[in-house]
């Protein structure tokens, strides 16, 4: 017993092998991660809380704090849920538990998963392991930074408009946003019901695939889930012969994409060609111009309704009032931060009488167009590629004062989210010393294709997920 555990480098698959070979005990493995947390989380603030003695002898895991964990406080990054301890497990937490994975702790998130930098967390921002003065991305910055910083081998995040993919790009690791409906939302604090999906964050594509296979599949408690049409295949091999890779012009030429990002992505595409892929251009004509506006109508509208249950009646801190109305008004005003308030207001407006048709109604029609555009592209291609984020990690505070600028962080992840399609982000290089993410977008249920291509590219690229300052 007692192999030296380098948590910065150890993959979940390797950890699993060590456990199975008896070279390491479950307790020793957990201890290694708790030590890493003690060492680095003071700086990075990824964990909102850790679990003192987690159950399970498998590979430890961290869960984003929007994921309900029975008996463990779950705040969704918001004061309005401070102290809330769920009396039930979300389905994904239950499946992870059933697989024997011990819960290390809950990770930081933008409040109600609303944000692209984790700066909207009521508990303060998390920091990027590559440069602690920069954001780790959001909303799942806590999970992503924790993986890169070796504080957990893998984690679960949630993605609505890019909240798994974008932090993975900014932190230099692998994040999967699954096909809508393949992972249960039961027990996941709802942001936008037709967009939210839980997915894996890990160091390698194989790890992400393995974790996805543990959580995916129909849940009778979630009416919007389906069985996977085919089982998850752990990827192997380096050849991309026969794979048709589409490069959507609009997603690759969008305004705001940094030159360094563009270059790293182009190099990755060239590598794919070298591995045998057929690369061709395609068009998603409305994805960029109308994707973000469409998203910022649908998501806040659904959120405004999903957040109506936070009223101080059954859980969460209550601010008293002389009447029910006053109690609710005050509880919500004090409990919600600025971004949820903004989105609640936006969403309520978009649904309100006289505005529904022009805003929410119209956005749902735009969604139909975007679905069709993607479907057309997938007639000719097996997957589409583009940058995950237009920029590398920006400085903490840089965009916090300008909501619209913050929203633009998601311009490349949003369109496929609206279409319910899977997206995998893998690190493909550095720009200005910071990670660049390559986004692989698949057709519905196309995860196995994404894993296969991601895995082959991952090997070819050879990105070192350990931040330079820690090598």
Closest to other proteins by CB, 220 vs 242, is 220
Q: Which of residues 66-85 bind other proteins (CB under 8 A)?
A: 68, 74, 76, 81, 83-85
Q: Which of residues 232-291 bind other proteins (CB under 8 A)?
A: 286, 289-290
Residues belonging to the active site: 64, 139, 163
CB of 469 to other proteins, least distance (A): 36
Q: Which of residues 122-151 bind other proteins (CB under 8 A)?
A: none
Q: Which of residues 312-341 bind other proteins (CB under 8 A)?
A: 312-318, 320-330, 332-333, 336, 341
Distance CA 392, CA 433 (A): 9
Q: Which of residues 388-427 bind other proteins (CB under 8 A)?
A: 403-404, 407, 418-421
CB of 195 to other proteins, least distance (A): 8
Which of 34, 296, 378, 381 touches other proteins by CB under 8 A? 296
Closest to other proteins by CB, 330 vs 459, is 330
Closest to other proteins by CB, 16 vs 218, is 218
Handedness of CA 134, 138, 142, 144 (dihedral sign): negative
Q: Which of residues 355-394 bind other proteins (CB under 8 A)?
A: 356, 358-369, 371
Closest to other proteins by CB, 86 vs 427, is 86
Which of 223, 229, 241, 242 touches other proteins by CB under 8 A? 223
Is residue 121 close enough to count as binding other proteins by CB under 8 A? Answer: no
Distance CA 396, CA 212 (A): 31
CB of 329 to other proteins, least distance (A): 4
CB of 375 to other proteins, least distance (A): 11
115 dihedral zone (left: phi>0; alpha: psi -120 to 50; beta): left
What is the secondary structure of 28-89 as a DSSP string?
A: HHHHHHHHHHHHHHHHH--EEEE-SS---SS--EEEETTB-BTTB---TT-GGGTT---SS-
Closest to other proteins by CB, 83 vs 276, is 83
Distance CA 250, CA 288 (A): 6
CB of 166 to other proteins, least distance (A): 19
Q: What angle do CA 415, 124, 439 make, to 5 degrees?
A: 25
Which residues are CB-neighbours of 296 under 8 A, at least 6 positions away? 346, 407
Contact by Cβ (8 Å): 114, 80 = no
Q: Which of residues 32-71 bind other proteins (CB under 8 A)?
A: 68
CB of 3 to other proteins, least distance (A): 38
For the CA atoms of 348, 351, 353, 359, the dihedral, rounded to the nearest 10 degrees, stands at 120
- Paired residues of 198 in beta bridges: 158
- Paired residues of 174 in beta bridges: 202
Which of 2, 22, 220, 242 touches other proteins by CB under 8 A? 220
CB of 196 to other proteins, least distance (A): 10
Q: Which of residues 147-206 bind other proteins (CB under 8 A)?
A: 180-181, 185-190, 192-194
CA 225 from chain center: how many Å?
Answer: 18
Q: Count of CB atoms within 10 A of residue 221's CB?
A: 14
Distance CA 114, CA 116 (A): 7
Residues touching other proteins, count (CB under 8 A): 96
Is residue 344 close enough to count as binding other proteins by CB under 8 A? Answer: yes
């Amino acid at each position: 017993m007692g192999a030296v555990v380098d948590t910065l480098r150890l993959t979940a698959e390797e950890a699993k092998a060590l456990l199975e070979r008896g070279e390491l005990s479950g307790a020793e493995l957990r201890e290694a991660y708790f030590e890493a947390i003690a060492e680095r989380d003071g700086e990075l603030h990824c964990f909102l809380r850790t679990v003192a003695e987690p159950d399970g002898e498998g590979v430890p895991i961290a869960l984003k704090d929007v994921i309900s964990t029975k008996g463990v406080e779950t705040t969704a990054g918001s004061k309005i849920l401070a102290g809330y301890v769920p009396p039930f497990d979300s389905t994904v937490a239950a499946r992870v538990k059933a697989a024997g994975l011990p819960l290390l702790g809950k990770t930081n998130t933008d409040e109600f998963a609303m944000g692209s930098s984790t700066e909207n967390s009521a508990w303060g921002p998390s920091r990027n392991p590559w440069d602690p003065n920069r954001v780790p991305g959001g909303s799942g910055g806590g999970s992503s930074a924790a993986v890169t910083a070796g504080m957990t081998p893998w984690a679960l995040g949630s993605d609505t408009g890019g909240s798994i993919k974008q932090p993975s790009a900014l932190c230099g690791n692998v994040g999967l946003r699954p096909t809508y409906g393949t992972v249960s939302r039961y027990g996941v604090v709802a942001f936008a019901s037709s967009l939210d999906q839980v997915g894996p964050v890990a160091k390698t594509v194989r790890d992400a695939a393995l974790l996805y296979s543990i959580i995916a599949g129909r849940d009778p408690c979630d009416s919007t889930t389906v069985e996977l049409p085919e089982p998850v295949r752990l990827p192997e091999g380096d050849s991309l012969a026969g794979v048709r890779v589409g490069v959507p012009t609009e997603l690759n030429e969008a305004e705001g994409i940094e030159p360094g990002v563009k270059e790293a992505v182009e190099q990755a595409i060239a590598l794919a060609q070298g591995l045998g892929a057929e690369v061709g251009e395609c068009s998603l004509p409305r994805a960029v111009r109308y994707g973000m506006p469409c998203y910022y109508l649908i998501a806040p509208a659904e959120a405004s309704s999903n957040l109506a249950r936070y009223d101080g009646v059954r859980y969460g801190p209550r601010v008293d009032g002389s009447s029910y109305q006053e109690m609710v008004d005050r509880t919500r005003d004090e409990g919600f931060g600025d971004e949820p308030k903004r989105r609640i207001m936006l969403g309520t407006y978009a649904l309100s009488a006289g505005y529904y048709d022009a805003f929410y109604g119209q956005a749902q029609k735009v969604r139909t167009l975007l679905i069709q555009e993607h479907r057309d592209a997938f007639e000719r291609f097996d997957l589409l590629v583009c940058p995950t984020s237009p920029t590398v990690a920006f400085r903490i505070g840089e965009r916090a004062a300008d909501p619209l600028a913050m929203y633009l962080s998601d311009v490349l992840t949003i369109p496929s989210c609206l279409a319910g399609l899977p997206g995998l982000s893998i690190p493909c290089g550095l720009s200005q010393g910071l990670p660049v993410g390559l986004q692989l977008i698949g057709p519905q249920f196309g995860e196995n294709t994404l894993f296969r291509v991601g895995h082959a590219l991952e090997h070819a690229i050879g990105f070192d997920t350990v931040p330079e300052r820690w090598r």
